[in-house]
Amino acid sequence: MRSIIPHIIVFSIIVDIVACSILKPKTPEQNYQIAKHHQAEGDYVQADRFLTKAIEKKPDYMDAYIFRAEINTMRDSLVRAVADYTTILQMPNLSGQSKANMLYLRGNAYYQNLQDTLACKDWEEACEQLGHTGACNYKRKNCK
């Protein structure tokens, strides 16, 4: 008995390729949605590519920066993740709790990239100034 699974996988890949080439996302939001699809499929490279397109079309698209930073953290592209978190932290419309979350996440990326001093600095700011519990716990556990 033959398995139809390889045929289904090939068909799915062809559908993805045709959909992307025919639809050619025109808005940042469409690029973001395609990136979500690729991330769900485990294709982080394509997800990153479509998030970059979304950001090129809308440079202040905070959700795309956050998602791309998460993708790059999963890919161990920590320098790129830190760069995205830094860009987000420079955005004027960032609220206090969002700032605390971004400092916490950037601190985590620094820590994973063996940049303990920078990680502790971000966790300290998120903890002391903004009351982020996770940052306080990481700071207490990992910083002198």
pLDDT for position 46: 95
Contacts of 115-124 spanning 24+ positions with Cβ under 8 A: 116/142, 116/143, 119/143, 120/144
Residue of 105, 94, 99 whose CA lies nearest to 131? 99
pLDDT for position 1: 53
pLDDT for position 25: 77
pLDDT for position 95: 87
Instruction: Flag whether the pTM goes above 0.95.
Output: no
Instruction: Name, in order, each residue with C-beta under 8 angstroms of 66's C-beta and a sequence gap of 6 or more.
Output: 84, 88, 102
Phi, psi of 83 (to 5 degrees): -60, -40
Tokens at residue 83, please? 């760069």
Q: Is 94 left (phi over 0), alpha (psi -120 to 50) or beta?
A: beta
User: How far apart, in whole angstroms, are the C-alpha atoms of residue 111 and residue 135?
Assistant: 12
Instruction: Name, in order, each residue with C-beta under 8 angstroms of 16's C-beta and a sequence gap of 6 or more.
Output: 37
pLDDT, block means (10 residues), the chain with 144 residues: 63 57 78 95 95 96 97 94 97 91 97 96 95 95 93
